[in-house]
């Protein structure tokens, strides 16, 4: 009798085994993760337009505000096209030439070829599912991963705008920005974030873009600022902003959008995302408060430009660390970045005499460098068990972070210099003094932001 019962239930056992295998073999899109990533992608776009456009636009003079808006808007357009045509593939696909794999992706995903609407995203630092063959994939559609990363590709060259504001011709700006995205941003993104990347293999930690975005753009900013030369009427100190209200609104929008930038970079709606959101806010708040106090004690009055700059500095510095540090780390990063960036903006820049118009290097470059290095100090296993920094006994991680920073500085600096020279030969880069004096709104675009009706 027992023999017949066993024979009767064997098919059911076999079917249940097949079902278990099939559930492993066919990972599914997670609706919650996907919904969050759609929102996060929109938030990162919100950082560029209107956030960064307002922040930078308010800091320049009224005769150049539309030029800033146009530069940011056109980058959203042209880099988005570049990204889907070739940029994403170069940054994240694998290269068929073996020795190039660690340094640049290939063209398998050019024009998003081979990426279907139901395909799952690649697995990097994210929640994953394991297929039957042992491979790992993310829980969101591949297309939303492409779109999310595309917003990073857009905002990175847009940050450089702050260094050469008020003196670059539009044609030269556009050519340079496209070349920079192709030959600087895409390779560095591949190194750090692609599964084939050599810095990724070395264990470099960059949760949301400390090296890829901020160090990369910040070094390009100082190189272009020096190569362009000073504005014709720059006297070694900041030229007053034309609309501080724009600055404050833009900074607030950046703060809000940064939640998508950092909390979205875990590619899942989970505990890592919520930790990233929390430490992002705490670092920004701490840095804003620290800058306000510095203004108060040194210049006797706290300023909205100062508190806005401090908040942005805090957001920059926490970016690489957001998925690896706790609230204590965020507080330390917030204080440290405001102290460093305040010194760079208020003392180092006037002393050395370079004209980094809107402090793209002083805030984004230096803040990114500090944040990337402090990630190697403050990363705690309490956030992600597999990661720790020097404070928790892992001094090797600190060295890896320094290595990633130094390599990015060298590559971005030398590459930007070469691309600037090429662009200058092809189309020219700097406007002449007469056009600069009139203002770039009229001379480059034939428009004015403000009209007198008297």
- pLDDT for 27-52, tens place per residue? 889 999 999 999 999 999 999 999 99
What's the pLDDT score for residue 4? 54
Contact between residue 211 and residue 192 where contact means Cβ atoms under 8 Å apart: yes
- Between the alpha carbon of residue 68 and those of residues 355, 421, 443, the distances in Å are 17, 23, 13
The C-alpha atoms of residue 225 and residue 349 are separated, in whole angstroms, by 12
Helix (H) or strand (E) holding 155: helix 142-164
pLDDT in tens, 278-300: 999 999 999 999 999 999 999 99
DSSP code, position 106: -
Domain 27-445, CATH number (from 3.40.50.620, 2.40.50.140, 1.10.3430.10, 3.40.50.150): 1.10.3430.10
Rounded to whole angstroms, the Cα distance separating 423 from 439 reads: 22
Q: What is the CA radius of gyration of the chain?
A: 24
Neighbouring C-alpha atoms within 13 Å toward the C-beta of 88: 26
Q: How far apart are CA 319 and CA 442, in angstroms?
A: 37
**Phi, psi torsion values for 339, nearest 5 degrees:** -60, -45
CB contact burial 293-328 (16+ within 10 A = b; e otherwise): bbbeeeeeeeeebbbbbbbbbbbbbbbbbbbbbbee
Contact 46, 253 (CB under 8 A): yes
At 124, is the pLDDT very low, low, confident or very high (cuts 50, 70, 90)?
Answer: low
Percent of all residues in the chain with a pLDDT value above 70, rounded to a whole number: 91
- In degrees and rounded to multiples of 5, residue 129 shows phi and psi of -120, 150
H-helix or E-strand spanning residue 141? strand 136-141
Query: What pLDDT is stored for residue 12 in this prediction?
Result: 47
In this structure, is the dihedral angle defined by the CA atoms of residues 296, 299, 304 and 309, taken in order, positive or negative?
negative
pLDDT of the residue at 122: 79
Q: What is the mean pLDDT of residues 217-225?
A: 97
Residue 130 has pLDDT above 70, yes or no: no
Q: Please give the pLDDT value at position 362.
A: 96
Which residues, in sequence order, are bridge partners of residue 141? 120
Quick count: other Cβ atoms within 10 Å of Cβ 98? 8
pLDDT averaged over every residue in the chain = 92
CB of 436 closer than 8 Å to CB of 60: no
Residue 19: how many other CB atoms lie within 10 Å: 9
Lowest mean pLDDT among 12-26, 77-91, 242-256: 12-26
CA pair distance 213, 368, nearest whole angstrom: 8
**How many Å from the N-terminal Cα to the C-terminal Cα in the chain?**
104
Residue 23: pLDDT band (50, 70, 90) is: very low
**String of DSSP letters for 200-225:** HHHT---SSSIIIIIIHHHHHHHHHH
pLDDT tens for residues 437-448? 999 999 999 999
Q: Return the pLDDT at 49.
A: 95
At 138, is the pLDDT very low, low, confident or very high (cuts 50, 70, 90)? confident
Tokens, residue 73: 């808007």
- The pLDDT > 90 percentage for the chain reads 86
What whole-number distance in Å separates Cα of residue 337 and Cα of residue 189?
24
Question: Tell me, what's the pLDDT at 132?
Answer: 55
Pick the range with the lowest mean pLDDT from 13-27, 87-101, 158-172: 13-27
Q: Is the pLDDT of residue 416 over 70?
A: yes
- 304: closest CA among 218, 241, 214? 241
| CA-angle at 345, arms to 177 and 59, nearest 5° | 60
Is residue 393 left, alpha or beta, with left meaning phi > 0 and alpha meaning psi from -120 to 50? left
Rounded to an integer, what distance in angstroms lies between the CA atom of residue 295 and that of residue 385? 39
Task: Give CA 393 to chain center in angstroms.
Answer: 29
Point out which residues pair with 136 in neighbouring strands: 130
Quick one: pLDDT band at residue 120, thresholds 50, 70, 90?
A: confident
Predicted pLDDT of residue 125: 52
pLDDT over 80 at 126, yes or no: no
| Model pLDDT for residues 370-415, shown as the tens digit of each residue | 999 999 999 999 999 999 999 999 999 999 999 999 999 999 999 9
Say how far apart CA 77 and CA 163 lie, in whole Å: 21
**Residues 79-100 pLDDT 10s:** 999 999 999 999 999 999 999 9
The ranges assigned to domains in the chain are 27-445
Nearest-angstrom CA–CA distance, 77 and 347: 37
């Amino acid at each position: 009798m027992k023999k017949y019962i066993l024979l009767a239930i064997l098919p059911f056992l076999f079917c249940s085994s097949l079902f278990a295998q099939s559930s492993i073999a066919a990972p599914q899109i997670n609706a919650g993760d996907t919904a969050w990533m759609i929102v996060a992608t929109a938030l990162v776009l919100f950082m560029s337009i209107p956030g960064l456009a307002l922040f930078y636009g308010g800091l320049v003079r009224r005769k150049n505000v539309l030029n800033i808006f146009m530069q940011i808007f056109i980058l959203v357009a042209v880099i988005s096209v570049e990204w889907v045509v070739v940029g994403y593939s170069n940054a994240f696909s694998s290269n068929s030439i073996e020795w190039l794999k660690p340094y640049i992706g290939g063209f398998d995903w050019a024009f998003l070829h081979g990426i279907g609407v139901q395909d799952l995203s690649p697995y990097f630092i994210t929640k994953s599912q394991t297929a039957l063959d042992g491979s790992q994939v993310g829980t969101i559609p591949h297309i939303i991963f492409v779109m999310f990363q595309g917003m990073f590709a857009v905002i990175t060259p847009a940050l450089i705008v702050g260094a050469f504001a008020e003196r670059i011709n539009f044609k030269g700006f556009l050519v340079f920005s496209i070349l920079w995205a192709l030959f600087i941003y895409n390779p560095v993104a591949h190194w750090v974030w692609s599964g084939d990347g050599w810095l990724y293999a070395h264990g470099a930690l960059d949760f949301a873009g400390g090296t890829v975005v901020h160090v990369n753009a910040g070094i390009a900013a100082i190189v272009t600022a020096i190569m362009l030369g000073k504005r014709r009427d720059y006297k070694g100190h900041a030229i007053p902003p034309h609309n501080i209200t724009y600055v404050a609104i833009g900074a607030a929008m950046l703060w809000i959008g940064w939640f998508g930038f950092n909390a979205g970079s875990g590619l899942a709606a989970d505990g890592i995302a919520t930790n990233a959101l929390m430490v992002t806010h705490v670092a920004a708040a701490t840095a804003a408060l620290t800058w306000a106090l510095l203004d108060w004690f040194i210049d006797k009055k706290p300023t909205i430009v100062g508190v806005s700059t401090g908040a942005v500095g805090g957001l920059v510095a926490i970016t690489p660390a957001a998925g690896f540090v706790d609230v204590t780390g965020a507080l330390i990063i917030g204080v440290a970045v405001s102290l460093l960036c305040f010194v760079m903006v208020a003392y180092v820049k006037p002393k050395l005499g370079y004209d980094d118009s809107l402090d793209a290097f002083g805030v984004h470059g230096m803040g990114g460098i500090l944040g990337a290095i402090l990630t190697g100090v403050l990363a705690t296993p309490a956030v992600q068990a597999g990661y720790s920094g020097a404070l928790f006994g892992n001094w090797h991680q600190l060295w890896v972070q320094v290595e990633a920073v130094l390599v990015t500085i060298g590559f971005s600096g030398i590459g930007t210099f070469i691309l600037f020279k090429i662009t200058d030969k092809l189309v020219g880069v700097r406007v002449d003094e007469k056009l600069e004096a009139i203002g770039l709104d009229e001379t480059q675009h034939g428009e004015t932001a403000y009209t007198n009706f008297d």
